[in-house]
Amino acid sequence: MSVELDGLDRRIVNGLQGGFPLSERPYAEAAEAFGIAEDELIARIDRLVETGALSRFAPLFNAERLGGAVCLCGMAVPAARFDAVAEQVNAHSEVAHNYAREHALSMWFVLASERPERIEEVAAAIEAETGLTVYRLPKLDEYYIGLKVEV
């Protein structure tokens, strides 16, 4: 589905990437920078998410700095079972992203948890539920790319 963005939508998407005010009224402060009211900014962001123009509008937390853990995982899922397995995997609140890939490991997802040991617990639960191996690919190093997409 194609979503039409007007000039203000584009300014909002471009302007809010990589930063959002940390204040008592962050939406009001951000809206002021665009010359609009707080409620209009909130309505536009909601519409952008609802229409799929944005996949989400939320903070990105560093789980490890907060005492938790993150792990990239891969699974070799038979094509005939892919949707059912995706549903089982996604039922776990610790699953942050889940993507199909044309690769021997056809499903890739990220586990993020408040406690490091929870990664192993969830991966083991997914293996028990699906009968498939969850390959754990823990992060060894972190690189900041700073990707910003202009629309």
User: pLDDT tens across 117-145, in order?
Assistant: 999 999 999 999 999 999 999 888 877 77
Summary mean pLDDT of the chain: 91
Query: Which pLDDT belongs to residue 96?
Result: 84
- Residue 46 domain-assigned (yes or no): yes
Model's pTM, two decimal places? 0.66
User: pLDDT tens across 16-33, in order?
Assistant: 987 889 999 999 999 999
Query: Which pLDDT belongs to residue 147?
Result: 63
Query: Which pLDDT belongs to residue 67?
Result: 84
Query: Which pLDDT belongs to residue 141?
Result: 84
Average pLDDT (40-61) is 88
In terms of residue numbers, what domain contains 28? Answer: 7-50
Same domain, 75 and 46: no
Query: Which pLDDT belongs to residue 146?
Result: 67
| Dist. CA 88–CA 1, nearest whole Å | 27
Given a cut of 90, whether residue 4 has pLDDT beyond it is no
Task: Report the chain's terminal Cα–Cα distance, integer Å.
Answer: 17
Would you give the DSSP letter of residue 143? -
Which CATH number belongs to the domain containing residue 12 in this structure?
1.10.10
Same domain, 75 and 123: yes
Same domain, 87 and 117: yes
On the 0-12 / 13-18 / 19+ scale of CB atoms within 10 A, 126 is: buried
Which CATH number belongs to the domain containing residue 123 in this structure?
3.30.70.3460
| Helix and strand totals (H; E) in the chain | 5, 4
- Residue 58 domain-assigned (yes or no): no
User: pLDDT tens across 72-111, in order?
Assistant: 999 999 999 999 999 999 999 999 889 999 999 999 999 9
Given a cut of 90, whether residue 151 has pLDDT beyond it is no
Please state the domain count of the chain.
Answer: 2
Whether 95 contacts 110, CB under 8 Å: yes
Give the pLDDT band of residue 64 (cuts 50, 70, 90).
Answer: confident
Question: Collapsing DSSP states into helix, strand and coil, what is residue 69?
Answer: strand
Query: Which pLDDT belongs to residue 88?
Result: 97
Query: Which pLDDT belongs to residue 59?
Result: 77
